[in-house]
Structure 1
């Protein structure tokens, strides 16, 4: 990562052999995901300068819990940077320990056409138990000011179904960099920040409609020192519509 962009997976979650997947045979299925959103926020920070995003994902799933796939979204980091697309290639294994408890282990490769200096990879582990989610993502080759650096993202989440085909998703996360990343107006540096999201979803006419409130604890000056903009880390509402098949 460099000062113009914070590259991350965001809220995309994997769920092999879900009810939306289309069976290929007795052991394989494929799931396609389409989404339109008023902003692409990744770990609290806009990847589109607060503009809308169109996103698509395809996941091949095996009955054993193994999966692999690709996901993509438009991005805009400004400052004349040529890339307009983020592509994520991922593979992993979801272990369904019991019906309400699962462990998801995987690897992601992030690619940015025409701006390969942003490319990086992450490994992750996500424990889901009775709706509570503990996620951990580690990168050893994240872009830095002068060389690659390591990052660690941890989050605690909760998901549940409410009446009337409505879902609730909550997340509180911490993004930690090995080297100083954010500078306040008085010159103080920081290696980490916190971000959070509360999201309501509603299923209607075959689509999932969502509304999220997203924020970080970064000040305007800290945000500008990272992305070059003061308004890409501040509180916002994000509306979305998605479909899986």
Structure 2
């Protein structure tokens, strides 16, 4: 908890991004008096990543607002289940699964995702597989409304995710089923169709849903003001 009594805000990145992508939003939240932690999401498996983030949440004194982008939504949905200090959830182009849903099945629930054809595999020593977005395709696929000179760096800095994590189904109770949630929907998302975002927001009975026309999956980079506004709205209610 911040010394002024405001909730701590934890932001969790998804696949093909990294914690530095939140920089402009983190700076604004800090300026508003919040303690902020941009967590390093391992991107190994939903179960492992959720346990990792839960350990971080358990170390924080006072109320927490937990924010997830993309696959980070899968992680926060499990990590915050039963966490008494997490008061609000914010999904920024994020998955909000129920038991049995995976990132892959939710992204395919409605037509429009072109992510699969842009992924490039890297075989791992344990027999698993990491996937990256092809750097030449990253701008159009992931961040079409972000300047090219920025997306070139983002593409180089992207964190890979295991193929297994994208296919892994959520298990058990999910935090959005008991914790109020806020959703931000980028209407030009090529990774997760906007219709899927709306489905998840409606299923979660979101307190507030904000839709941004022509925004890409990297909406936290291209529209930091709107994303920051939504997080601050949730924090004010915490």
- TM-score w.r.t. the length of structure 1 is 0.31
Q: Point out which structure has higher relative CO (alpha carbons under 8 A, 6+ apart).
A: 2
Please give the TM-score of this superposition, normalised by the length of structure 2.
0.31
Larger fraction in strand: 1
Q: Quick check: which has more Rg, 1 or 2? A: 1
